[in-house]
Amino acid sequence: MVVRAVRGAVQLERDEAGHMDEQVGALLTAILERNSLTTDDLISIWFTATPDLHSDFPAAAARKLGIVDVPLICAQELDIEGAMPRVVRVLAHIESDRPRADIAHVYLGAAAALRKDIAQ
């Protein structure tokens, strides 16, 4: 097995804990499914959230999905003028035999505009 990194992001419609859980949960589920991963393949996950998100920690959504024995950390994204609002980003470190070019990075909804070069 090789260590790989998977990127992803989702833009929330509103800053509410339940909505964050739903959207971040959908993002993590899509990352796992599109890369044929299980939680045992996860090494760690970094979450960042734009400064306008205050309702909950994105990592809480991962715990609710059953990702309980994987190190998770949350941080605030840079506050850049003109940046897309209400965005949660993910950087997951995984164990996978897939070549780097075959890793599916997942950008849901409007967040697909963030990385048109790698969004699948």
Tally the C-alpha atoms within 13 A of residue 40's C-alpha that lie toward its C-beta. 1
- The answer to whether residues 81 and 108 touch, using CB atoms and an 8 Å cutoff, is no
Distance CA 79, CA 52 (A): 9
- Domain count for the chain: 1
120 inside domain: no
Catalytic residue numbers read 7, 63, 74, 77, 89, 107, 115
Kindly tell me if the per-residue pLDDT of 119 is higher than 70: no
CATH of the domain at 63: 3.30.1330.40
Q: Which residue has the higher pLDDT, 37 or 119?
A: 37
Distance CA(39)–CA(25), nearest Å, equals 13
Q: Do 94 and 106 meet the contact criterion of CB atoms below 8 Å apart? A: no
| pLDDT band of 114, cuts 50, 70, 90 | confident
